[in-house]
A and B are shown apart, each in its own frame.
Chain A
Amino acid sequence: MKLYCLSGHPTLPCNVLKFKSTTIMLDCGLDMTSTLNFLPLPLVQSPRLSNLPGWSLKDGNAFLDKELKECSGHVFVDSVPEFCLPETELIDLSTVDVILISNYHCMMALPYITEHTGFTGTVYATEPTVQIGRLLMEELVNFIERVPKAQSASLWKNKDIQRLLPSPLKDAVEVSTWRRCYTMQEVNSALSKIQLVGYSQKIELFGAVQVTPLSSGYALGSSNWIIQSHYEKVSYVSGSSLLTTHPQPMDQASLKNSDVLILTGLTQIPTANPDGMVGEFCSNLALTVRNGGNVLVPCYPSGVIYDLLECLYQYIDSAGLSSIPFYFISPVANSSLEFSQIFAEWLCHNKQTKVYLPEPPFPHAELIQTNKLKHYPSIHGDFSNDFRQPCVVFTGHPSLRFGDVVHFMELWGKSSLNTVIFTEPDFSYLEALAPYQPLAMKCIYCPIDTRLNFIQVSKLLKEVQPLHVVCPEQYAQPPPAQSHRMDLMIDCQPPAMSYRRAEVLALPFKRRYEKIEIMPELADSLVPMEIKPGVSLATVSAVLHTKDNKHVLQPPPRPAQPTGGKKRKRASDDIPDCKVLKPLLSGSIPVEQFVQTLEKSTHHPPVPFLLEQHGFSDIKVEDTAKGHIVLLQEAETLIQIEEDSTHIICDNDEMLRTIRILHILLSSKLKTPVCLK
Chain B
Amino acid sequence: MLKSQDLSSRILSFSLRLAGIFAAQENCFQYLQQGELLPTLFGEAGPLGGAAWTAPTVRSGWVQGLRTLARHPSALRFLAACGAVDTIFSLQGDSSLFVASAAGQLLVHVLDLAMRGPAEGRRGPRARDWPACAQKIVCHIEDSLCSAATPQVTQALNVLTTVFGHCRGLWTQGLWVRLSPLVARLLEKDPVPASHSLVDLLLSVARSSVLSSDRGLWETLAQTLSHLSPTQAGPLALGILKLQDCPQALRTQAFGILLQPLACVLEAAAQAPGTPGLLEGAAGDSMTVDTLLSSKSACVGLLCCALAHLGLLQPLPQRPSPWPQVPLLGAVVTILRLCSGSAAPTSDVGGRLCAILVGCGRVQRAALDFLGALSQGTGPQELVTQVFSILLEYLMSPESSSMVLKKAFQATLRWLLSSSKTPGCCDLDPHTQQFLRELLPVLQKRLCSPCWEVRDSGLEFLTQMTRQWGGRTGFRQALLASEVPELTRQLLRDPESYVRASAVTATGQLSGWGLRATPASPERPGAQQESLLGELLHILSTDSEGFPRRAAMQVCTEWLRDGRADVAEDPERFVAGVLQAASRDLDWEVRAQGLELALVFLEQLLGQRGSRCPYSVGLPETAPPGVLAQALQVLCRVQLFEFAFRALFDCDRPVAQKSCDLLLFLRAKAASCGSLQEAGDSPSVASVEATLQRWQAGEQGQPLGYLEPGAIVAVLRSVDLEGLRDTLAESSDHVEKSPQSLLQDVLAAVGVLGENEADCY
Q: How far is the CB of B115 from chain A (nearest CB, A)?
A: 57
> Can you list 13 residue pairs at the A/B interface with Cβ under 8 Å?
A276-B397, A276-B398, A279-B450, A283-B450, A314-B450, A318-B450, A318-B496, A482-B344, A484-B350, A485-B341, A486-B352, A486-B355, A487-B355
Q: Name the residue on B nearest A319 (C-beta).
A: B448
Q: How far is the CB of A624 from chain B (nearest CB, A)?
A: 42
Interface check A669, CB cutoff 8 A: no
B355 touches A279 (CB 8 A): no
Interface check B320, CB cutoff 8 A: no
A280 touches B398 (CB 8 A): yes
B399 touches A318 (CB 8 A): no
By a CB distance below 8 angstroms, the chain A residues around B351 are 484, 486
A273 touches B398 (CB 8 A): yes
B449 touches A282 (CB 8 A): yes
Q: Which of B356, B398, B493, B494 has the most CB of A within 10 A?
A: B398
Interface check A32, CB cutoff 8 A: no
Complexed CA–CA distance, A484 and B398 (Å): 21
Q: Name the residue on B nearest A321 (C-beta).
A: B448
Complexed CA–CA distance, A265 and B560 (Å): 63
Interface check B345, CB cutoff 8 A: yes
* Among B354, B356, B451, contact of A484 (Cβ-Cβ < 8 Å): B354
B398 touches A446 (CB 8 A): yes
Q: How far is the CB of A424 from chain B (nearest CB, A)?
A: 16
B358 touches A487 (CB 8 A): yes
Q: Which of B492-517 contact A (CB under 8 A)?
A: 493-496
Q: How far is the CB of B487 from chain A (nearest CB, A)?
A: 8
Complexed CA–CA distance, A487 and B483 (Å): 39
Contacts A276-B398, A485-B355; A311 near B450 (Cβ below 8 A): yes
Q: Mark A59-84, 1 if CB is under 8 A from B, else 0.
A: 00000000000000000000000000
Q: Knowing that A286-B448, A290-B483, A446-B398 are A-B contacts, what are 8 other residue pairs whose CB atoms are under 8 Å apart, sorted by A's residue number?
A: A272-B398, A280-B445, A282-B450, A317-B495, A484-B351, A484-B354, A486-B351, A486-B352
* Among B344, B451, B490, B495, contact of A279 (Cβ-Cβ < 8 Å): B451
Interface check A370, CB cutoff 8 A: no
Complexed CA–CA distance, A665 and B341 (Å): 68
Q: Which of A278, A314, A446, A487 has the most CB of B within 10 A?
A: A487
Contacts A279-B451, A487-B358; A320 near B493 (Cβ below 8 A): yes
Interface check A315, CB cutoff 8 A: yes
A279 touches B398 (CB 8 A): yes
* Among B341, B343, B446, B448, contact of A271 (Cβ-Cβ < 8 Å): B341
Complexed CA–CA distance, A446 and B397 (Å): 11
Q: How far is the CB of B503 from chain A (nearest CB, A)?
A: 12
Interface check B325, CB cutoff 8 A: no
Q: Which of B333-350 contact A (CB under 8 A)?
A: 341, 343-346, 350
Q: Which of A276, A283, A320, A482 has the most CB of B within 10 A?
A: A283
Complexed CA–CA distance, A249 and B100 (Å): 48
By a CB distance below 8 angstroms, the chain A residues around B633 are none
Q: Which of B448, B451, B496 has the most CB of A within 10 A?
A: B448
By a CB distance below 8 angstroms, the chain A residues around B450 are 278-279, 282-283, 311, 314-315, 318-319
By a CB distance below 8 angstroms, the chain A residues around B346 are 484
Q: Mark A276-298, 1 if CB is under 8 A from B, else 0.
A: 11111011101100110000000
Contacts A282-B450, A283-B448, A484-B346; A276 near B400 (Cβ below 8 A): yes
Q: Name the residue on A nearest B399 (C-beta).
A: A276
Q: Which of A137-159 contact B (CB under 8 A)?
A: none
A279 touches B354 (CB 8 A): no
A283 touches B354 (CB 8 A): no
B454 touches A279 (CB 8 A): yes
Complexed CA–CA distance, A64 and B449 (Å): 49
Total cross-chain contacts (CB, 8 A): 74
A485 touches B354 (CB 8 A): yes
Q: Which of A401-415 contact B (CB under 8 A)?
A: none
Q: How far is the CB of B481 from chain A (nearest CB, A)?
A: 13
Q: Which of B341-387 contact A (CB under 8 A)?
A: 341, 343-346, 350-352, 354-356, 358-359
By a CB distance below 8 angstroms, the chain A residues around B486 are 290
Give the interface SS of chain B, mostly helix, strand, loop or mixed: loop
Q: How far is the CB of B263 from chain A (nearest CB, A)?
A: 20
A484 touches B345 (CB 8 A): yes
A487 touches B354 (CB 8 A): yes
By a CB distance below 8 angstroms, the chain A residues around B344 are 482, 484
A287 touches B448 (CB 8 A): yes
* Among A273, A278, A484, contact of B399 (Cβ-Cβ < 8 Å): A273
Q: How far is the CB of A103 from chain B (nearest CB, A)?
A: 26
Give the interface SS of chain A, mostly helix, strand, loop or mixed: helix
Q: Name the residue on A nearest B350 (C-beta).
A: A484
- Report, nearest first, the 9 A-B pairs whose CB atoms are least far apart: A276-B398, A487-B355, A283-B448, A280-B398, A286-B448, A486-B355, A282-B450, A318-B495, A283-B445
Complexed CA–CA distance, A286 and B399 (Å): 19
Interface check B25, CB cutoff 8 A: no
Q: How far is the CB of A322 from chain B (nearest CB, A)?
A: 11
Q: Name the residue on B nearest A282 (C-beta).
A: B450
Q: Which of B351, B356, B446, B450 has the most CB of A within 10 A?
A: B450
By a CB distance below 8 angstroms, the chain A residues around B345 are 484
Interface check B672, CB cutoff 8 A: no
Interface check B15, CB cutoff 8 A: no
Q: How far is the CB of A536 from chain B (nearest CB, A)?
A: 49
Q: How far is the CB of B143 from chain A (nearest CB, A)?
A: 45
Complexed CA–CA distance, A282 and B358 (Å): 25
Complexed CA–CA distance, A319 and B354 (Å): 37
By a CB distance below 8 angstroms, the chain B residues around A485 are 341, 354-355, 358
Interface check B444, CB cutoff 8 A: yes
By a CB distance below 8 angstroms, the chain A residues around B356 are 487
Q: Which of B556-572 contact A (CB under 8 A)?
A: none
B398 touches A482 (CB 8 A): no
Q: Which of B65-115 contact A (CB under 8 A)?
A: none
Complexed CA–CA distance, A670 and B218 (Å): 74
* Among B341, B446, B493, B496, contact of A283 (Cβ-Cβ < 8 Å): B446
Q: Name the residue on A nearest B441 (C-beta).
A: A287
Q: Name the residue on A nearest B445 (C-beta).
A: A283
By a CB distance below 8 angstroms, the chain B residues around A282 are 448-450
Q: Name the residue on A nearest B356 (C-beta).
A: A487
Q: Which of B148-182 contact A (CB under 8 A)?
A: none
A320 touches B355 (CB 8 A): no
Q: Mark B631-673, 1 if CB is under 8 A from A, else 0.
A: 0000000000000000000000000000000000000000000
By a CB distance below 8 angstroms, the chain A residues around B487 are 290
Complexed CA–CA distance, A126 and B18 (Å): 76
By a CB distance below 8 angstroms, the chain B residues around A284 are 445, 448
Complexed CA–CA distance, A444 and B331 (Å): 32
Q: How far is the CB of A484 from chain B (nearest CB, A)?
A: 5
Q: Mark B380-419, 1 if CB is under 8 A from A, else 0.
A: 0000000000000000011110000000000000000000
By a CB distance below 8 angstroms, the chain A residues around B355 are 485-487
By a CB distance below 8 angstroms, the chain A residues around B358 are 485, 487
Q: Mark A464-502, 1 if CB is under 8 A from B, else 0.
A: 000000000000000000101111000000000000000
Q: Mark A509-529, 1 if CB is under 8 A from B, else 0.
A: 000000000000000000000
Complexed CA–CA distance, A482 and B344 (Å): 8
By a CB distance below 8 angstroms, the chain A residues around B490 are 320
Complexed CA–CA distance, A320 and B397 (Å): 24
Q: How far is the CB of A546 from chain B (nearest CB, A)?
A: 51
Q: Which of B233-262 contact A (CB under 8 A)?
A: none
Complexed CA–CA distance, A272 and B399 (Å): 7
Complexed CA–CA distance, A377 and B391 (Å): 46
Q: Which of B429-473 contact A (CB under 8 A)?
A: 444-446, 448-451, 454
Q: Mark A189-214, 1 if CB is under 8 A from B, else 0.
A: 00000000000000000000000000
Q: Name the residue on B nearest A454 (C-beta).
A: B355
Complexed CA–CA distance, A312 and B355 (Å): 34
Q: How far is the CB of B524 from chain A (nearest CB, A)?
A: 24
By a CB distance below 8 angstroms, the chain B residues around A278 are 450
B354 touches A486 (CB 8 A): yes
Q: Name the residue on A nearest B345 (C-beta).
A: A484
B399 touches A287 (CB 8 A): no
